[in-house]
Amino acid sequence: MSSLKAQSSGIDENMNLIKVGISTNDFSQLEYNQVSITSKGPFEIINKRDNTLLAISNGNEVFTFKVIDDDINIYKDKTQVAEYLFGPIGIIPQGTNPLEIVGLKRAGKSALYKGEIEIVKSPVKDDKLSVVNILPLEEYLKGVVPNEMPSKFGLEALKAQAVAARNYAIKPRVKSYSQFDICDSVACQVYFGCNTETPKANQAIDETKGLVGIYNDELILALYSSTAGGYTESYENAFTETGSKSFPSSPKPYLKGKPDIDGTPILDNEENARSFYTATPASYEADSGYFRWTRYWSEPELEVLLNKNLSKYNPSGFVSPYFSKNMTTGAIKKIEVLERGVSGKAMIVRIAAANGIWTVKKELIIRKIFENSGKMMPSANVVFDNVTDSNGNLEKVVAYGGGLGHGVGMSQFGASYMSKNNYTFDQILQHYYDKISIGTSPIKLTASPVSEAVCQQYYTNNGKSELVIDNSQRLNSLKILINSNEVNIPLKNYDQDKIRIDLQNYVKEGVNDIIYFPPKGDEDGKSIKAWIEVYTPN
């Protein structure tokens, strides 16, 4: 079998690579007028448009890529080495030394990147370019996990974070970029390159290699946030679908809000929400500095703030009625929440003022409009106190809240608590994502003479591996190779569409290799879906 040609499944079906857009130092921009690249080791610069070699470096040389008159020019120090390029341009290491983006800092360190860096023209701005890091998914995660979660949160929490981050990399909530798959900031998930790797985070990634969360035969959208406030929220009560103004949105069955402590009442009414967020009940997240917080605005401060932000966020479609830059609220009379999610999260807030009444929908817009000291509210899990003077005029508004972030899916502080209390990563994930299984990413195998075999690697330490096959198109057979053991599965002998095959006798503790051979014969065009399930739904 040594001559077998196989492809990996993943973001890039040929090499399991991910493309990450690299932001500027303050993360405000993903595009540059120019950028300089260096490395301690040798690298080549390739014009990927025609695969020509543009320059070679033996190391410790700086090359600058600059947009001039709509083209990319390349300079070594101040000497021009190439011009009139459109890109993409690849900077490819010839050894193990990472590439460095000169002047870029991540966590106070020089920004270093494994894999390749690609320079591409902006699709919308002729004078801008994008910097893209292309590297294997598992290596990418090593620059994500320690920057999304501190190592002190515990190994099992880090493992849960690794699986969630792997899911999110493959299936982000929104893909807004044509030049790359995902960005490197909190707008996607934080990626700081290889100069911030930690041994414990790397261990967590290695010991969950290839594992993802699955629901209904598909990858889940593995949302997570810092602190839910003691009660996570259902997806539809916090998010809208891409490009839609419809809110609440369609639910996702595995993203259902739930309390940390059983018996906590649903917080979708003012009384329960107020009781919960003005107190400090028992919670997995009690160690978070954002478990409970308070914000204040005087009436004059709030009036200035709302006049600015209602017009600023009016284009979102979640401010009603229309509020233009020429309008003013007049004196603020009252702030109240009209509708809440199961966690008490504000879904609709009503602003009553001298010149009218406005409503604001959706947690992120609410948080941005009710900013405080230049920062948006930590979360929309909030109750408002309207403090009036003896004449009934509003003097100030006090917001009592809990949580940091959208509060949907996994709570990172909650995962830390569970890890430190002997929960395993699969238990953590199945607590926050309802009824999911954990295994390899489902792949589609199509019967065709030109189809190639597909290979995957995954880690297990529980001795369990069940091959799951969706054979609704009724193919006759499937052959796999697992850890060099050939297994032929006579699909035609099974009556059901969903087939499960126990592979326990073929797996080992640690990393396992599986190769799927595409169906052959007279079944051209038909396909099956297959994956390995390591942890069944709880």
**Tens of pLDDT along 405-447?**
999 999 999 999 999 999 999 999 999 999 999 999 999 998 8
Higher pLDDT, 270 or 11: 270
Tell me: pLDDT of 173 over 70: no
Instruction: Please report the pLDDT score of residue 229 as a whole number.
Output: 97
Spatial CA neighbour of 259 closest among 343, 383, 344, 382: 343
Confidence of residue 521 (pLDDT cuts 50, 70, 90): low
Spatial CA neighbour of 263 closest among 280, 277, 238, 283: 283
| One domain, residues 388 and 531 | no
**CATH number of the domain bearing residue 518:** 2.60.120.260
Instruction: Please report the pLDDT score of residue 12 as a whole number.
Output: 44
* Range(s) of the domain holding residue 31: 6-206
- H or E stretch at 272: helix 270-277
Query: Which among 164, 189, 206 is the end of a domain?
Result: 206
Tell me: pLDDT of 179 over 60: yes
Structural domain includes residue 239: no
- Half-sphere exposure (CA, 13 Å, Cβ side) for 73? 14
Tell me: pLDDT of 278 over 70: yes
| One domain, residues 134 and 68 | yes
Give the count of domains, the chain.
3
Distance separating alpha carbons of residues 375 and 378, to the nearest angstrom: 8
Tell me: pLDDT of 47 over 90: yes
Burial 124-162, CB ≥16 within 10 A → b, else e:
eeeebbbbbbbbbbbbbbbbbbbbbbebebbbbbbbbbb
| One domain, residues 369 and 447 | no
**Tens of pLDDT along 118-151?**
999 887 787 899 999 999 999 999 999 999 999 9
Percent of the chain with pLDDT over 70: 96
- Average pLDDT for 152-181: 89
Angle at 63 between CA 62 and CA 69, to 5 degrees: 145
Instruction: Please report the pLDDT score of residue 175 as a whole number.
Output: 66
Please list, in sequence order, all residues whose beta carbon lies within 8 angstroms of the beta carbon of residue 223, skipping any fewer than 6 positions away.
168, 173, 235, 255, 406, 408, 409, 410
Structural domain includes residue 437: no
**Tens of pLDDT along 362-397?**
999 999 999 999 999 999 999 999 999 999 999 999
What SS3 state is found at 469? strand
Length of the chain: 538
pTM higher than 0.85: yes
Report the amino acid identity of residue 462.
N
| One domain, residues 129 and 53 | yes
Instruction: Please report the pLDDT score of residue 2 as a whole number.
Output: 28
Tell me: pLDDT of 7 over 50: no
Average pLDDT, rounded, for the chain: 93
Tell me: pLDDT of 176 over 90: no
User: How far is the CA of 137 from the CAs of 11, 94, 95, 113, 308, in angstroms?
Assistant: 8, 20, 19, 13, 42
What SS3 state is found at 511? strand
- Average pLDDT for 95-105: 96
| One domain, residues 177 and 63 | yes
122: which 2 tokens? 């902006």
Distance separating alpha carbons of residues 274 and 344, to the nearest angstrom: 9
| One domain, residues 467 and 333 | no
Instruction: Please report the pLDDT score of residue 264 as a whole number.
Output: 97
| One domain, residues 22 and 155 | yes
| One domain, residues 381 and 521 | no
Please list, in sequence order, all residues whose beta carbon lies within 8 angstroms of the beta carbon of residue 484, skipping any fewer than 6 positions away.
1, 513
| One domain, residues 385 and 529 | no
Query: Which among 181, 206, 231 is the end of a domain?
Result: 206
Report the amino acid identity of residue 331.
A
Query: Which among 206, 228, 256 is the end of a domain?
Result: 206
180: which 2 tokens? 């790359």
Q: Given strand 52-57, what is the order of strands in its sheet?
A: 52-57, 43-47, 89-93, 116-121, 129-136, 17-21, 182-183
**Tens of pLDDT along 234-245?**
999 999 987 788
Instruction: Please report the pLDDT score of residue 86 as a whole number.
Output: 85
**Tens of pLDDT along 193-203?**
999 999 999 99
Please list, in sequence order, all residues whose beta carbon lies within 8 angstroms of the beta carbon of residue 329, skipping any fewer than 6 positions away.
303, 306, 307, 310, 351, 353, 354, 355, 356, 358
Distance separating alpha carbons of residues 372 and 306, to the nearest angstrom: 11
Instruction: Please report the pLDDT score of residue 526 as a whole number.
Output: 87
Among 26-30, 210-214, 434-438, 465-469, where is mean pLDDT lowest?
26-30
